Structure 1
Amino acid sequence: MTSPAPLRLPDADTAEQWVDHRATTLLGTVQELADRLRTDPPASVLETLELWDEITLQLGNVAAVGSLLSNVHPDAAVRTRSELAELEADRLATELSQDRAIHDVLAALDPAGLDAQASRLLERTLRDFRRSGVDRDDATRERISEIRERLTALDQEFSRNTRDDVRTISFPAERYAGLPQDWLDAHPPAADGTITATTDYPDAVPVRMFVHDAEVRAAMTRAFLTRGYPQNDQLLQEMFALRHELATLLGYADWASYDAEVKMIGSGPAVPAFIDRIAAAAEEPMERDLAVLLERYRRDVPGAEQVTGSDASYYQELVRREQYDVDSQQVRAYLDFAKVRQGLLDVTGRLFGLRYVEVAGAAVWHPDVTAYDVVDAAAPEGAAPLGRIYLDLHPREGKYKHAAQFTLTDGVLRDGSSLASSSQLPEGVLVCNFSRGLMEHDHAVTLFHEFGHLVHHVLGGRGRWARFAGVATEWDFVEAPSQMLEEWAWDAEVLAGFATDAAGEPIPADLVSRMRAAEDYGKGIAARVQMFYAAMSYWFHTERPADLTAAMRELQARYSPFPYAEGTHMYASFGHLGGYSSAYYTYMWSLVIAKDLFSAFDQDDLFDTEVAGRYRDRVLAPGGAKDAADLVADFLGRPYTFDAYAAWLAR
């Protein structure tokens, strides 16, 4: 079949009209297809499923563009229209998910003779209808629709408040002593001799890690941890209440039970049990880490009972420098952003058998954005792409503040089907906020992590069904492939290929070895911080506390290595309370699996073509066509276990 063409994006002058036209046209198409499915469905079972899948695809096309451009477009009017497009798509999706006539057509289909994927699609579709309340009475379905629409609006407002609330601190230039010279060069003092730093990551992270002045570090910590407050407090209260109401209307005990039903973990009560299992496993490593950290802290703060949160990054950096001979500023000298980005493309291209061909003159939403066609490395020059990716990697006003992969289009190849003309390439966008100059190694690791989602999206977007396209596995598995890809950003031989200083000298292998040892030093602390976040996301949804700050303080005291910073409200900018809701535990759940996946690779040859090819074909390429546990077992030759993670945490 002819390969589908990439989506043609608008130029800046026509973007608002383009979003409006695309949303209006595609949602109109969805309505027409839905009318056909209700009144005159195809005679073939397979064609009926294809028709429903096409409805899913076109709804996703509207929602994906709306979500992306509302978070990245520099024009506020485009962001606003994009938010509306996403809301319109969600509203129609909810309406169709409760449409009894469509449900009855699909429920009457005979699965006999369907292949495994088509049978899976039918089963998952009917489950989705049930979870949407199709079997409830009219009043209940109407209330469910109201709740879902309001939740979409709340999530958008929560994200917008977090995105737009950029705070600043200002101090005399001399009080920023300790920061790297390139950071200081990029922040010349104002006329009054002060330097202003923002809460965007390229400012906030170095200030908290390197500035010698404890008051400056504390000021940045307070500013960073109060973003979104107070405006997001009431939004979250309403969000948690509505999610709980929705779950109970559908017959579940609480939102976490509803949410967990379709994840690997299986049930709501299993979430706190998992959190406590990880917390217990991390207890001894955390105490060991904290003893080292407190000993160093007391040299500067005699008699201190514990290390404050505002001092933690700085003193962890001192421990790494003094006890492991790892100076992050020395490491930064090898991590020029442009080289790291190219190294990322080279590494993932070699690992997965891909080429990235820059698309000259591609329409993009900002000059910082670069587009690449992703091509099979074995294909001849000029071959049709497997997909397209966009890299939007630096901060700017009005842009999403964290790091994430956004879908532009899900990939579907319907060769031979009645809807072959609706095939489309998988296209994804990497949205990050990195420095344009030198990077912290943690940020390089984050870049590898997020790019893992992008590769998964492209390689998993070559199937017949939109329902299973891309990163469509259970949500508590989606981080595992990306967490595993982080390992390549820690390998000395891999890093030597792109991590070079101004003179072109590669990062020394012994420095990388010390970096790994220093990273191992803090993993107990990191695991417990993650469990604090996971507990907050779970208990906020199940207990719905009236005072979120007080509840956060209690959970921080129970799980976190560091005490609460007075006057802060970290949850107000904790973006994962939106998309991940009660399931932030998924990062650690996925890490358990990622460590097991990585155990299959030869540590002395991370580019072994047989292992890498098997991983690409059996874990990434199927998308959501199988249960995640089965994908992992297909690759490992056995079910996944906790063993590799436990061994890594304990060492």
Structure 2
Amino acid sequence: MTAISPALHLVDFDNVSPATLQDQVRSAIDAANAFLDTMPALDSLPADRQISAEQALADVMSFDHINLALDRSWGILSHLNSVMSNDDIRQVHHELLPKLSAYGTRVGQHQPLFGRYQAIKNDTAFFAALEPARARAIELALRSFELSGVALPKEEQAAFADIQSKLSTLSATFSDHILDATQAYALPLSQAQLAGLTDSGLALLADAGEQYKTRELARGTLSQADVDALPTPYYVASLNIPVYLAIMTHADDRDLRETLYRAYVTRASEFDTHTNAKGESLNNADIMSQILQLREQKAKLLGFDNYAEVSLSTKMADSVTEVEDFLRNLATQATPAAQQDLAQLQTCAQDYGIDELQPWDSAYIAEKVKQSKFSLSQEEIRPYFPLPKVISGLFAIVERLYGIKVQEHSESVSRWHDDVRFYQLFDADDTLLGGFYFDLFARSGKRGGAWMSGFQSRYRHEATEHQQLPVCFMVGNFTPALDGKPSLLTHDEVLTLFHEFGHGLHHLLTQVTVGDVAGVNGVEWDAVELPSQFMENWAWDSEGIALISSHVDTDEPLPTDKLDALLAVKNFQSGMQTLRQIEFALFDLLIHAHTPALDYEGILATLDAVRRDVALMHTPDYNRFANGFSHIFAGGYAAGYYSYKWAELLSADAFSKFEEDGIFNPITGKAFRETILSVGGSFPAKTNFENFRGRSASIDALLRHSGFVATQGMQNTDTTHSTREGI
């Protein structure tokens, strides 16, 4: 077995602690600040001591190298706060946020450092001779300085720093409230309420019941005698996604579905009575309005009209109007299909005694339609997607596409949880490319959702002969292994795994060694989803499905009738799903484009207005989806949630090249790797896409893949849009 390369610089998770990481973060910040303290401003140097562009670049690269220690220690702490959160980790994480924010603001406003970047760019001959990745990193850094307030007067710089610090703390608290509210909810169920649930769903509820007993015993709310008196299995509903979806999709008890729906969509709102460990309310309402107010203040300081303009200044899209037009035009295309989707659900609902379809009915009825129209049940195909088979098939697919090979080394490395797996990625010539971790199962203390964290970038520092290969964490919240069998995935979970692995390949296959533009770094936010959404296509193709499926007990391949049904159901409810994504994206865009900044009532009113414009199904008045919208209030998607649909256009058009050439065509795979995956952010996303496709992107493939028929008007609009904006 191949040894673990020291170039991976893997973390010894067995010997990290919040206190140690806290010391490391502080030491790293102190070391970086000390370097900045000794860096003289260029205008303070005498004429005979002016530094060259070459020396300016050496200073910049030295500073980048010093920051590796901070990137590493803070990256580990942030990761653990997401996947193994507890009071100790959370306290240290939050205590460090103001210090980290202050440091980041200082760097962004540091005139001597800024001057060195300017010196590099202003020496036109020197700049023109730089490798493209380095030149791109310099350009992006200069833009970042401007967006960090480097040109502001001292007083306004101080105000900017205060805003940044407050925003970092508020976003972390927002995320805490969602996690705490999700984990605080538990609803023991009666036998009657279990009707309709599948065996896998019952196993999840029983597992949640065991966790409930353990938790309540530790809290002292139940005695050991109380616990012993409870039945085994003891079924408990929770708001963790696998449990929630099992009930919403299969529970016959409509009242139970509504109860759980209400609990889920009111998390961290004024309707949520739960508190955190300190007895504090989990209501995110005030936090949301504060975040919007601070973002607006930041935008005004930087000379923008609103925060949406700040966000778009670093993206492919040029303006709020352009994004809004894109979303509303797409809504126009999706609405006829969505109306058919809704009518289909309403017709079926009548058969189950539901006169008026409600949001808590949609997943349940959709599953009934799948079973009756397509003879397909997620539960029937789940045994055909055991996680080990899906993973081995996924690796086989990327080996055929890109010539790369994966080896597992889980037992050779330290991991943060026993469920975590570790792999090394090799090129066709056995060159080590990087390493990655899978942490795929839902558990207590873990943030919901799925994500790829580009923990460590490919990087080389010639002066110290330091080299590091890319390492990333790929995280999910899938159904865990139960009843002695491996985790059995729904096809939706398969798609999620492929999606995150697409992000992972973008990070791991880069050949760029300038960290700021290696892998996903430096890629415009509205293009960064291109490789992830692109990867999903192989989980929808019959050849791809053959590689990732076999029955958990018999190893039989997915039967032809089930394969045909699965492929037939690809665009099932795609109209409704598209409108849902557009609803979220428009809401996000409009609340960040509004001035003055909206208060909580204004936020809710905007969401209601967007729903009236694009949604087809009535949403209950108590729905507080926005209070749990972590992507925009606690993540990086503020005024950028539209990126999912924008990048989907790019990914659909990119995949259409494989549809033309053959989905496993190695030449096309090599071209995609070299023009998209390998170059990271070293060129603009528009350039990378056109280098692969040979032209600007077209919306035609997106409409076709979604099952929509393009109107001539939309096609004409998009042709102009594509030519002008280059998406």
Residue 419 of structure 1: CA displacement? 4.6
Residue 391 of structure 1: CA displacement? 0.9
Residue 240 (structure 2) aligned to one of 200, 207, 213: 200
The yes-or-no answer on 1:222 pairing with 2:262 is yes
Bigger mean CA offset, 228-237 vs 475-484: 228-237
CA distance in 1, matches of 2:77, 2:234: 40
Match of 2:465 in 1: 420
Which aligned pairs between 1:383-402 and structure 2 lie closer than 5 A?
Answer: 385-402=432-449
CA distance in 2, matches of 1:87, 1:616: 39
Give the letter for the 2:463 counterpart. S
CA distance in 1, matches of 2:55, 2:233: 75
Give the letter for the 1:643 counterpart. D
CA distance in 2, matches of 1:20, 1:424: 23
The yes-or-no answer on 1:363 pairing with 2:414 is yes
Conserved? CA contact 1:59–1:89, under 8 Å: no
CA distance in 2, matches of 1:515, 1:272: 33
The yes-or-no answer on 1:244 pairing with 2:293 is no
Conserved? CA contact 2:661–2:668, under 8 Å: no
* Deviation string, structure 1 residues 89-124 (Cα, Å, up to 9, x no partner): 332121110112222232233142332333322222
Residue 423 of structure 2: SS of its match in structure 1? strand
Conserved? CA contact 1:67–1:83, under 8 Å: no
Q: 1:58 to 1:125 in 2, by over 3 A?
A: farther
CA distance in 1, matches of 2:145, 2:630: 28
Q: 1:329 to 1:33 in 2, by over 3 A?
A: same
The yes-or-no answer on 1:334 pairing with 2:384 is yes
Match of 2:722 in 1: none
Bigger mean CA offset, 501-510 vs 399-408: 501-510
Residue 288 of structure 1: CA displacement? 1.8
Residue 129 (structure 1) aligned to one of 141, 145, 164: 145
Conserved? CA contact 2:108–2:145, under 8 Å: yes
Q: 1:73 to 1:329 in 2, by over 3 A?
A: closer
CA distance in 2, matches of 1:48, 1:399: 40
TM-score w.r.t. the length of structure 1 is: 0.93
Which aligned pairs between 1:423-442 and structure 2 lie closer than 5 A?
Answer: 423-436=467-480, 437-442=487-492
How well do the aligned residues superpose, as a CA RMSD in angstroms?
A: 2.4
Residue 36 of structure 1: CA displacement? 4.6
* Deviation string, structure 1 residues 61-85 (Cα, Å, up to 9, x no partner): 3442232122113543134324444
Residue 323 (structure 1) aligned to one of 368, 373, 381: 373
Residue 450 (structure 1) aligned to one of 456, 480, 500: 500
Residue 194 (structure 2) aligned to one of 173, 176, 181: 176
CA distance in 2, matches of 1:342, 1:512: 19
Residue 16 of structure 1: CA displacement? 2.0
The yes-or-no answer on 1:616 pairing with 2:673 is yes
Over alpha carbons, which structure has the higher Rg? 2
Residue 356 of structure 1: SS of its match in structure 2? strand
Q: 1:328 to 1:346 in 2, by over 3 A?
A: same
Which aligned pairs between 1:52-451 and structure 2 lie closer than 5 A?
Answer: 52-54=63-65, 57-85=68-96, 87-109=98-120, 110-113=123-126, 114-115=129-130, 116-166=132-182, 167-188=185-206, 190-191=230-231, 195-230=235-270, 231-301=283-353, 303-304=355-356, 307-359=357-409, 360-379=411-430, 385-414=432-461, 417-421=462-466, 423-436=467-480, 437-451=487-501
The yes-or-no answer on 1:466 pairing with 2:515 is yes
The yes-or-no answer on 1:528 pairing with 2:576 is no
Residue 210 of structure 1: CA displacement? 1.2
Residue 396 of structure 1: CA displacement? 1.6
Q: 1:520 to 1:585 in 2, by over 3 A?
A: same
CA distance in 2, matches of 1:431, 1:389: 11
Bigger mean CA offset, 575-584 vs 640-649: 640-649
Match of 2:484 in 1: none
CA distance in 2, matches of 1:91, 1:396: 33
Bigger mean CA offset, 133-142 vs 2-11: 2-11
* Deviation string, structure 1 residues 175-214 (Cα, Å, up to 9, x no partner): 2222221221343485399621111011011111111221
Q: 1:469 to 1:62 in 2, by over 3 A?
A: farther
Match of 1:545 in 2: 598
Which aligned pairs between 1:32-43 and structure 2 lie closer than 5 A?
Answer: 32-38=34-40
Residue 29 of structure 1: SS of its match in structure 2? helix
* Deviation string, structure 1 residues 11-66 (Cα, Å, up to 9, x no partner): 44542243124313322332243245436977535424423543565553344223
Conserved? CA contact 1:169–1:197, under 8 Å: yes
Match of 2:277 in 1: none
* Deviation string, structure 1 residues 348-404 (Cα, Å, up to 9, x no partner): 34333222222223111111111112222321xxx5x31111111112221111111
Q: Unmatched 5+ residue regions in structure 1?
A: none
Match of 1:508 in 2: 559
Q: 1:474 to 1:534 in 2, by over 3 A?
A: same
CA distance in 2, matches of 1:520, 1:247: 40
Q: 1:314 to 1:38 in 2, by over 3 A?
A: farther
Count matched residues: 640
Residue 172 of structure 1: SS of its match in structure 2? coil
Q: 1:389 to 1:569 in 2, by over 3 A?
A: same
Residue 368 of structure 1: SS of its match in structure 2? coil
CA distance in 1, matches of 2:97, 2:507: 20
CA distance in 1, matches of 2:669, 2:166: 44
Give the letter for the 1:614 counterpart. A
Match of 1:479 in 2: 529
The yes-or-no answer on 1:22 pairing with 2:6 is no
Give the letter for the 2:446 counterpart. K
Bigger mean CA offset, 257-266 vs 537-546: 537-546
Conserved? CA contact 2:457–2:518, under 8 Å: yes
Which aligned pairs between 1:557-596 and structure 2 lie closer than 5 A?
Answer: 557-577=612-632, 578-579=634-635, 580-596=637-653
Give the letter for the 1:418 counterpart. A
Residue 634 of structure 1: SS of its match in structure 2? helix
Q: 1:328 to 1:91 in 2, by over 3 A?
A: same
Q: 1:301 to 1:539 in 2, by over 3 A?
A: farther
Q: 1:398 to 1:186 in 2, by over 3 A?
A: closer
* Deviation string, structure 1 residues 537-564 (Cα, Å, up to 9, x no partner): 1122233433133432332232223221
CA distance in 1, matches of 2:679, 2:100: 26
CA distance in 1, matches of 2:488, 2:525: 33
CA distance in 2, matches of 1:99, 1:464: 25
Residue 333 of structure 1: SS of its match in structure 2? helix
Conserved? CA contact 2:400–2:666, under 8 Å: no
Bigger mean CA offset, 79-88 vs 100-109: 79-88
Residue 7 of structure 1: CA displacement? 2.8
Conserved? CA contact 1:66–1:82, under 8 Å: yes
TM-score w.r.t. the length of structure 2 is: 0.83
CA distance in 2, matches of 1:91, 1:512: 55
Bigger mean CA offset, 357-366 vs 539-548: 539-548
Q: 1:388 to 1:303 in 2, by over 3 A?
A: closer
Conserved? CA contact 1:356–1:375, under 8 Å: yes
Give the letter for the 2:178 counterpart. T
